[in-house]
Amino acid sequence: MTRIILKKGRDESLRRFHPWVFSGAVAQIVGQPAEGDVVGVFSHEGEFLAHGHYQVGSIAVRVLSFQGEDALSPDFWVNMIGKAFRVRQAAGLTDSGSTNCYRLVHGEGDGLPGLIVDWYDGVCVMQAHSVGMFRAKGAICEALKSLFGDSLKAVYDKSSGTAPFKAGLDLVDGYLYKAEGFSDDQQVVLENGNKFLVNWTEGQKTGFFLDQRENRELVGKYSRGRNVLNLFCYTGGFSVYALKGGALRVDSVDSSKKAVDMVGENMELNGFDPSLHSDIRADAIEFLRGIPEDKYDLMIVDPPAFAKHRGALSNALRAYQRLNAAAISKVTPGGLIFTFSCSQVVDKEDFALAVFSAAAQTGRSVRILGRMTQPSDHSVNIYHPEGEYLKGLVLYVE
Ligand code: SAH
């Protein structure tokens, strides 16, 4: 096995269980690893530190195990995914009568850097964010089969947009496993008793934004008697909870036609009167600029990540400020705004500062009623604080 030898003194972060080895910390590579190979990482003095997937780029190794040179046993994937399952079990997600979809594997948060697996009532949708995880997909699928047996309906690999292979390699998404008789590319799942149609082949990411489950519930609690605007609505997750919570009406806005079309289907699935909601295909900022100031007294603002890397941070902060200023200026006095950022490089202080600047720009009096984050199935490895990516504020605007 290839040995990655670190520079002197550059073993500190691995000894504190941080799961990445940066290329700048590498003194020597003994062997000729292909991208995605499992390699051993050693201190300058030759002490074994970790096993991980080798990568080309600023992160040279993503760690799979810190435990001894022979830790990558044949049962590795079953052990690790089994542990991830038990975390979801402890959180009450695996045998809940009202929720049958959750994130089963959340990358670094579950000690499996670069791997996402979402569970949709027996269908596992996986996304590999590293070449190593992509190359391991067969073993991952076998582990899922052995862990879930008959309750596994399918394993779908959706890594074409996420696995960082060099351009030119044509990746094709597809099923790694299908139980006999299972043929659909979509199915209806339950989240807190609400029904949602999830289409993993056509939808964004793995098909549904499971990370907003608890925040949707919170919106439901605040919605009674309110006129709700759900911006960046995708398939209407927040809209369904708002109507369930007693909203007077809900307007849902997204720039994607496919997404907006599914909002109507989800409304129908949950039995809501069509006159209580409309689905609007539009750019969220343009839509906000065009509305009067007395129309909505609850807004949800959940844009896609504005910054995908550190270099984009300052532009992203300006974009959050612009968007939130537009929302704050248009919400009715006494109105609420649930505003989010899912950019990993924007931390919660940065985001709060962008929203503060937005409020100041409008001159309105704004209170913070609550802070939101990602749920337990998007767990954060304490040694990898970068894993905390979703943050949100509940604002009350006078
Ligand atoms: N709140 C959603 C998830 C939002 S993901 C949920 O609970 O499921 C971000 C969404 O923003 C995507 O659906 C994407 O299509 C949409 N989007 C991206 N740019 C947009 C824009 N400029 N205006 C409106 N929607 C946009």
Q: Give me the residue label for tokens 């579950």.
A: 110
CA 185/CA 196 separation, integer angstroms? 14
Q: pLDDT value at position 73?
A: 87
pLDDT at 15 over 90: yes
pLDDT over 90, % of the chain: 94
Among the ranges given (88-102, 130-144, 165-179, 352-366), the one the predictor scored with the smallest mean pLDDT: 165-179
pLDDT at 91 over 80: yes
**Tens digit of each residue's pLDDT (9 = 90 or more) over 34-85:** 999 999 999 999 999 999 999 999 999 999 999 887 678 889 999 999 999 9
**Tens digit of each residue's pLDDT (9 = 90 or more) over 211-261:** 999 999 999 999 999 999 999 999 999 999 999 999 999 999 999 999 999
Q: pLDDT value at position 71?
A: 72
Ligand 1 center from residue 230 Cα (angstroms): 10
Ligand 1 center from residue 204 Cα (angstroms): 10
Cα dihedral sign for 167, 168, 169, 170?
positive
Atom in ligand 1 nearest the alpha carbon of residue 230: 1
Q: pLDDT value at position 168?
A: 55
pLDDT at 317 over 70: yes
For atom 16 of ligand 1, the residue with the nearest CA is 232
Ligand 1 center from residue 333 Cα (angstroms): 26
For atom 21 of ligand 1, the residue with the nearest CA is 283
The CATH H-level (homologous superfamily) assignment of domain 76-188 is RNA methyltransferase domain (HRMD) like (3.30.750.80)
pLDDT at 167 over 70: no
Task: Report the residue among 209, 229, 255 best suited for mutation to probe ligand 1: largest number of ligand atoms under 8 A from its CB.
Answer: 255
Ligand 1 center from residue 232 Cα (angstroms): 3
Positions of CATH 3.40.50.150 in the chain:
209-397
Residues with CB under 6 A from ligand 1: 204, 209, 212, 232-235, 237-238, 254-256, 259, 283-284, 302-304
Ligand 1 center from residue 284 Cα (angstroms): 8
For atom 15 of ligand 1, the residue with the nearest CA is 256
CA 227/CA 299 separation, integer angstroms? 9
Task: Report the residue among 208, 254, 263 best suited for mutation to probe ligand 1: largest number of ligand atoms under 8 A from its CB.
Answer: 254
Ligand 1 center from residue 281 Cα (angstroms): 11
**Tens digit of each residue's pLDDT (9 = 90 or more) over 108-144:** 999 999 999 999 999 999 999 999 999 999 999 999 9
pLDDT at 103 over 60: yes
Positions of CATH 2.30.130.10 in the chain:
3-65
CA 388/CA 216 separation, integer angstroms? 18
Q: pLDDT value at position 74?
A: 86
- Computed over every residue of the chain, the mean pLDDT equals 96
Q: Residue 37 in contact with residue 31, Cβ under 8 Å?
A: no
Q: Residue 67 in contact with residue 87, Cβ under 8 Å?
A: no
Positions of CATH 3.30.750.80 in the chain:
76-188
Task: Report the residue among 120, 189, 234, 238 best suited for mutation to probe ligand 1: largest number of ligand atoms under 8 A from its CB.
Answer: 234
Q: pLDDT value at position 169?
A: 66
Taking residue 224's Cβ as centre, other Cβ atoms within 10 Å add up to: 12
Q: Class assignment of domain 3-65?
A: mainly beta
Ligand 1 center from residue 208 Cα (angstroms): 12
For atom 1 of ligand 1, the residue with the nearest CA is 233
Q: Class assignment of domain 209-397?
A: alpha beta
Q: Residue 305 in contact with residue 266, Cβ under 8 Å?
A: no
pLDDT over 70, % of the chain: 98
